[in-house]
Structure 1
Amino acid sequence: MNIREANELDYPELRIIYLESRRKNFHWAVLEEMTLDDFDKDTVGEHIIVAEEDNHLLGFASLYLPDNFIHYLFINPNYFGKGIGGHLLNASIKKMNKPLRLKCVSENLIALKFYEKNGWKKVNEEGEKEKYWVMKYE
Protein backbone atom coordinates (compact mmCIF):
# COMPACT_ATOMS: atom_id res chain seq x y z
CA MET A 1 0.00 0.00 0.00
CA ASN A 2 1.26 3.45 -0.94
CA ILE A 3 0.33 6.66 0.91
CA ARG A 4 0.84 9.80 -1.17
CA GLU A 5 -0.47 13.29 -1.80
CA ALA A 6 -3.56 13.47 -3.98
CA ASN A 7 -3.53 15.09 -7.40
CA GLU A 8 -6.28 16.30 -9.71
CA LEU A 9 -6.37 12.97 -11.55
CA ASP A 10 -7.50 11.33 -8.28
CA TYR A 11 -10.56 13.55 -7.84
CA PRO A 12 -13.11 11.54 -9.86
CA GLU A 13 -12.37 8.44 -7.77
CA LEU A 14 -12.18 10.44 -4.50
CA ARG A 15 -15.63 11.90 -5.19
CA ILE A 16 -17.04 8.38 -5.52
CA ILE A 17 -15.33 7.14 -2.34
CA TYR A 18 -16.64 10.11 -0.38
CA LEU A 19 -20.19 9.69 -1.66
CA GLU A 20 -20.42 5.90 -1.41
CA SER A 21 -18.82 5.70 2.02
CA ARG A 22 -21.21 8.29 3.44
CA ARG A 23 -24.22 6.62 1.81
CA LYS A 24 -23.25 3.26 3.26
CA ASN A 25 -22.28 4.37 6.77
CA PHE A 26 -24.04 7.62 7.66
CA HIS A 27 -27.41 6.16 8.70
CA TRP A 28 -28.27 9.45 10.44
CA ALA A 29 -27.87 11.59 7.30
CA VAL A 30 -30.30 12.31 4.46
CA LEU A 31 -28.92 10.20 1.60
CA GLU A 32 -30.80 12.09 -1.10
CA GLU A 33 -28.94 15.29 -0.22
CA MET A 34 -25.52 13.73 -0.89
CA THR A 35 -23.88 14.37 -4.27
CA LEU A 36 -20.55 13.79 -6.02
CA ASP A 37 -19.90 17.55 -5.85
CA ASP A 38 -19.82 17.41 -2.05
CA PHE A 39 -16.19 16.26 -2.08
CA ASP A 40 -15.01 19.40 -3.88
CA LYS A 41 -17.06 21.74 -1.67
CA ASP A 42 -16.12 20.00 1.57
CA THR A 43 -12.36 19.85 0.99
CA VAL A 44 -11.60 23.35 -0.35
CA GLY A 45 -8.18 24.52 0.85
CA GLU A 46 -7.28 21.19 2.42
CA HIS A 47 -4.29 18.91 1.97
CA ILE A 48 -5.44 15.48 0.78
CA ILE A 49 -3.50 12.27 1.11
CA VAL A 50 -4.58 8.98 -0.42
CA ALA A 51 -3.95 5.30 0.14
CA GLU A 52 -3.58 3.34 -3.08
CA GLU A 53 -2.71 -0.14 -4.18
CA ASP A 54 -2.45 -1.50 -7.72
CA ASN A 55 -3.58 1.86 -9.16
CA HIS A 56 -6.81 1.83 -7.07
CA LEU A 57 -7.57 4.41 -4.41
CA LEU A 58 -8.51 2.73 -1.16
CA GLY A 59 -9.24 5.83 0.88
CA PHE A 60 -8.20 9.36 1.75
CA ALA A 61 -7.63 11.84 4.55
CA SER A 62 -8.36 15.54 4.15
CA LEU A 63 -6.25 17.73 6.43
CA TYR A 64 -6.50 21.39 7.37
CA LEU A 65 -2.82 21.95 8.06
CA PRO A 66 -2.94 25.45 9.66
CA ASP A 67 -4.99 24.03 12.56
CA ASN A 68 -3.46 20.52 12.70
CA PHE A 69 -6.98 19.25 12.05
CA ILE A 70 -8.09 16.03 10.36
CA HIS A 71 -11.26 17.05 8.58
CA TYR A 72 -12.09 13.78 6.85
CA LEU A 73 -10.88 10.20 6.80
CA PHE A 74 -12.81 7.95 4.44
CA ILE A 75 -12.20 4.43 3.19
CA ASN A 76 -13.68 2.87 0.06
CA PRO A 77 -16.48 0.65 1.48
CA ASN A 78 -15.08 -2.33 -0.47
CA TYR A 79 -11.87 -2.15 1.59
CA PHE A 80 -13.11 -1.73 5.17
CA GLY A 81 -11.29 -3.67 7.84
CA LYS A 82 -7.98 -3.96 6.02
CA GLY A 83 -5.96 -1.45 8.08
CA ILE A 84 -6.17 1.37 5.55
CA GLY A 85 -7.63 3.84 8.05
CA GLY A 86 -4.73 3.23 10.42
CA HIS A 87 -2.20 3.89 7.67
CA LEU A 88 -3.93 7.13 6.67
CA LEU A 89 -4.25 8.19 10.30
CA ASN A 90 -0.54 7.59 10.95
CA ALA A 91 0.45 9.49 7.80
CA SER A 92 -1.80 12.37 8.88
CA ILE A 93 -0.19 12.48 12.33
CA LYS A 94 3.28 12.60 10.74
CA LYS A 95 2.23 15.44 8.42
CA MET A 96 1.07 17.77 11.23
CA ASN A 97 2.23 19.05 14.60
CA LYS A 98 0.81 17.78 17.87
CA PRO A 99 -1.64 18.24 19.37
CA LEU A 100 -3.96 17.26 16.52
CA ARG A 101 -7.72 17.57 16.56
CA LEU A 102 -10.69 16.13 14.74
CA LYS A 103 -14.44 16.00 15.10
CA CYS A 104 -16.41 12.77 14.95
CA VAL A 105 -20.20 12.53 14.79
CA SER A 106 -21.43 11.08 18.07
CA GLU A 107 -23.60 8.52 16.27
CA ASN A 108 -20.59 7.21 14.33
CA LEU A 109 -19.71 4.62 16.98
CA ILE A 110 -17.41 2.62 14.70
CA ALA A 111 -15.28 5.69 13.95
CA LEU A 112 -15.20 6.77 17.62
CA LYS A 113 -13.97 3.33 18.63
CA PHE A 114 -11.35 3.41 15.83
CA TYR A 115 -9.96 6.77 16.94
CA GLU A 116 -9.88 5.83 20.63
CA LYS A 117 -8.11 2.56 19.79
CA ASN A 118 -5.49 4.65 17.97
CA GLY A 119 -4.75 6.95 20.92
CA TRP A 120 -7.27 9.76 20.40
CA LYS A 121 -9.12 11.15 23.44
CA LYS A 122 -12.60 12.62 23.56
CA VAL A 123 -12.39 16.23 24.77
CA ASN A 124 -16.01 17.40 24.70
CA GLU A 125 -19.26 16.76 22.89
CA GLU A 126 -20.68 19.70 20.94
CA GLY A 127 -23.38 20.52 18.43
CA GLU A 128 -27.03 21.42 18.46
CA LYS A 129 -28.77 19.49 15.69
CA GLU A 130 -26.03 16.91 15.08
CA LYS A 131 -23.81 16.08 18.04
CA TYR A 132 -20.13 15.36 17.56
CA TRP A 133 -17.08 14.72 19.69
CA VAL A 134 -14.05 16.98 19.53
CA MET A 135 -11.09 14.63 19.84
CA LYS A 136 -7.41 15.28 20.48
CA TYR A 137 -4.19 13.39 19.80
CA GLU A 138 -1.09 14.44 21.77
Structure 2
Amino acid sequence: MNIRVASELDYPDLRLIYLKSRRKSFHWADIEEMTLDDFDKHTVGEYIILAEEDTHILGFASLYLPDNFIHHLFVHPDFSGKGVGGQLVNASIEKMNKPLRLKCVSENQKAMKFYENNGWKKVVEEGKPEEKYWVMEYE
Protein backbone atom coordinates (compact mmCIF):
# COMPACT_ATOMS: atom_id res chain seq x y z
CA MET A 1 0.00 0.00 0.00
CA ASN A 2 1.31 3.42 -0.97
CA ILE A 3 0.50 6.66 0.88
CA ARG A 4 0.97 9.85 -1.13
CA VAL A 5 -0.22 13.44 -1.45
CA ALA A 6 -3.38 13.73 -3.55
CA SER A 7 -3.48 15.74 -6.75
CA GLU A 8 -6.51 17.23 -8.49
CA LEU A 9 -6.41 14.28 -10.89
CA ASP A 10 -7.38 12.10 -7.90
CA TYR A 11 -10.43 14.20 -6.98
CA PRO A 12 -13.02 12.26 -9.03
CA ASP A 13 -12.13 9.07 -7.11
CA LEU A 14 -11.91 10.91 -3.78
CA ARG A 15 -15.35 12.49 -4.31
CA LEU A 16 -16.81 9.05 -4.92
CA ILE A 17 -15.15 7.51 -1.86
CA TYR A 18 -16.37 10.40 0.32
CA LEU A 19 -19.93 10.04 -0.94
CA LYS A 20 -20.12 6.21 -0.83
CA SER A 21 -18.51 5.96 2.59
CA ARG A 22 -20.77 8.57 4.18
CA ARG A 23 -23.90 7.09 2.61
CA LYS A 24 -23.00 3.66 3.95
CA SER A 25 -21.82 4.67 7.43
CA PHE A 26 -23.67 7.84 8.43
CA HIS A 27 -26.99 6.22 9.39
CA TRP A 28 -27.96 9.31 11.40
CA ALA A 29 -27.72 11.67 8.40
CA ASP A 30 -30.00 12.23 5.40
CA ILE A 31 -28.11 10.45 2.62
CA GLU A 32 -30.25 12.12 -0.03
CA GLU A 33 -28.65 15.48 0.86
CA MET A 34 -25.13 14.14 0.25
CA THR A 35 -23.53 14.94 -3.13
CA LEU A 36 -20.25 14.48 -4.96
CA ASP A 37 -19.60 18.22 -4.59
CA ASP A 38 -19.45 17.84 -0.79
CA PHE A 39 -15.85 16.65 -1.02
CA ASP A 40 -14.71 19.91 -2.61
CA LYS A 41 -16.71 22.06 -0.17
CA HIS A 42 -15.54 20.15 2.91
CA THR A 43 -11.82 20.02 2.09
CA VAL A 44 -11.07 23.61 1.01
CA GLY A 45 -7.54 24.60 2.03
CA GLU A 46 -6.67 21.17 3.39
CA TYR A 47 -3.70 18.90 2.79
CA ILE A 48 -5.00 15.62 1.39
CA ILE A 49 -3.19 12.31 1.49
CA LEU A 50 -4.45 9.07 0.04
CA ALA A 51 -3.81 5.36 0.22
CA GLU A 52 -3.56 3.42 -3.01
CA GLU A 53 -2.71 -0.05 -4.19
CA ASP A 54 -2.00 -0.82 -7.83
CA THR A 55 -3.11 2.73 -8.76
CA HIS A 56 -6.52 2.09 -7.11
CA ILE A 57 -7.38 4.66 -4.41
CA LEU A 58 -8.54 2.96 -1.20
CA GLY A 59 -9.11 5.97 1.07
CA PHE A 60 -7.95 9.43 2.08
CA ALA A 61 -7.35 11.80 4.95
CA SER A 62 -7.70 15.58 4.78
CA LEU A 63 -5.61 17.53 7.25
CA TYR A 64 -5.83 21.10 8.44
CA LEU A 65 -2.14 21.60 9.09
CA PRO A 66 -2.22 24.95 11.01
CA ASP A 67 -4.21 23.26 13.82
CA ASN A 68 -2.70 19.74 13.59
CA PHE A 69 -6.23 18.57 12.91
CA ILE A 70 -7.47 15.52 11.00
CA HIS A 71 -10.65 16.82 9.42
CA HIS A 72 -11.63 13.76 7.39
CA LEU A 73 -10.61 10.12 7.26
CA PHE A 74 -12.54 7.97 4.82
CA VAL A 75 -11.94 4.52 3.40
CA HIS A 76 -13.83 3.08 0.45
CA PRO A 77 -16.46 0.69 1.91
CA ASP A 78 -14.97 -2.23 -0.07
CA PHE A 79 -11.66 -1.82 1.77
CA SER A 80 -12.92 -1.13 5.29
CA GLY A 81 -11.19 -3.22 7.98
CA LYS A 82 -8.11 -3.93 5.85
CA GLY A 83 -5.65 -1.55 7.54
CA VAL A 84 -6.14 1.42 5.21
CA GLY A 85 -7.42 3.74 7.93
CA GLY A 86 -4.55 2.84 10.25
CA GLN A 87 -1.98 3.62 7.55
CA LEU A 88 -3.65 6.97 6.83
CA VAL A 89 -3.73 7.86 10.55
CA ASN A 90 -0.05 6.96 10.92
CA ALA A 91 0.88 9.08 7.89
CA SER A 92 -1.17 11.96 9.34
CA ILE A 93 0.65 11.68 12.67
CA GLU A 94 4.00 11.79 10.86
CA LYS A 95 2.98 14.91 8.88
CA MET A 96 1.76 17.00 11.82
CA ASN A 97 2.99 18.05 15.24
CA LYS A 98 1.63 16.50 18.42
CA PRO A 99 -0.81 16.79 19.96
CA LEU A 100 -3.13 16.09 17.03
CA ARG A 101 -6.88 16.51 17.27
CA LEU A 102 -9.96 15.34 15.44
CA LYS A 103 -13.70 15.27 15.94
CA CYS A 104 -15.70 12.06 15.75
CA VAL A 105 -19.49 11.95 15.67
CA SER A 106 -20.64 10.33 18.92
CA GLU A 107 -23.05 8.01 17.09
CA ASN A 108 -20.24 6.67 14.90
CA GLN A 109 -19.29 3.87 17.30
CA LYS A 110 -17.19 2.02 14.71
CA ALA A 111 -15.00 5.10 14.17
CA MET A 112 -14.79 5.84 17.91
CA LYS A 113 -13.52 2.31 18.57
CA PHE A 114 -11.04 2.58 15.68
CA TYR A 115 -9.51 5.79 17.02
CA GLU A 116 -9.37 4.57 20.62
CA ASN A 117 -7.68 1.35 19.46
CA ASN A 118 -5.09 3.52 17.68
CA GLY A 119 -4.13 5.54 20.78
CA TRP A 120 -6.57 8.48 20.57
CA LYS A 121 -8.21 9.75 23.77
CA LYS A 122 -11.61 11.36 24.20
CA VAL A 123 -11.22 14.93 25.48
CA VAL A 124 -14.72 16.42 25.53
CA GLU A 125 -18.10 15.78 23.96
CA GLU A 126 -19.57 18.85 22.26
CA GLY A 127 -22.35 19.87 19.89
CA LYS A 128 -26.12 20.13 19.86
CA PRO A 129 -28.04 17.14 21.29
CA GLU A 130 -28.81 15.80 17.81
CA GLU A 131 -25.26 16.44 16.53
CA LYS A 132 -22.95 15.36 19.36
CA TYR A 133 -19.30 14.63 18.62
CA TRP A 134 -16.17 13.85 20.59
CA VAL A 135 -13.05 15.96 20.36
CA MET A 136 -10.22 13.42 20.43
CA GLU A 137 -6.49 13.92 20.92
CA TYR A 138 -3.33 11.99 20.09
CA GLU A 139 -0.18 12.89 22.03
| TM > 0.5 fold call | yes
Task: Identify the residue that residue 27 of structure 1 maps to in structure 2.
Answer: 27
Aligned partners of 1:136 and 1:81: how far apart in 2? Answer: 22
Q: Secondary structure at the match of 1:15?
A: helix
TM (norm. structure 1) is: 0.99
Task: Identify the residue that residue 135 of structure 2 maps to in structure 1.
Answer: 134
State the AA in 2 paired with 1:126: E
TM (norm. structure 2) is: 0.99
Task: Identify the residue that residue 65 of structure 2 maps to in structure 1.
Answer: 65
Q: CA RMSD in A?
A: 0.4
Aligned partners of 2:115 and 2:123: how far apart in 1? Answer: 12
The alignment status of 1:75 with 2:75, answered yes or no, reads yes
Q: What runs of 5+ residues in structure 1 fail to find an aligned partner?
A: none
Aligned partners of 1:9 and 1:54: how far apart in 2? Answer: 16
Aligned partners of 2:75 and 2:118: how far apart in 1? Answer: 16
Q: What runs of 5+ residues in structure 2 fail to find an aligned partner?
A: none
After superposing on structure 2, the runs of 4+ consecutive aligned residues of structure 1 that deviate more than 3 Å are none
Task: Identify the residue that residue 56 of structure 2 maps to in structure 1.
Answer: 56
Identity %: 78
Q: Deviations over 1:75-134 (max 9, x none)?
A: 000101100000000000000000000000000000000000000000000001300000
State the AA in 1 paired with 2:6: A
Task: Identify the residue that residue 18 of structure 2 maps to in structure 1.
Answer: 18
Q: Deviations over 1:20-46 (max 9, x none)?
A: 000000000000100000000000000
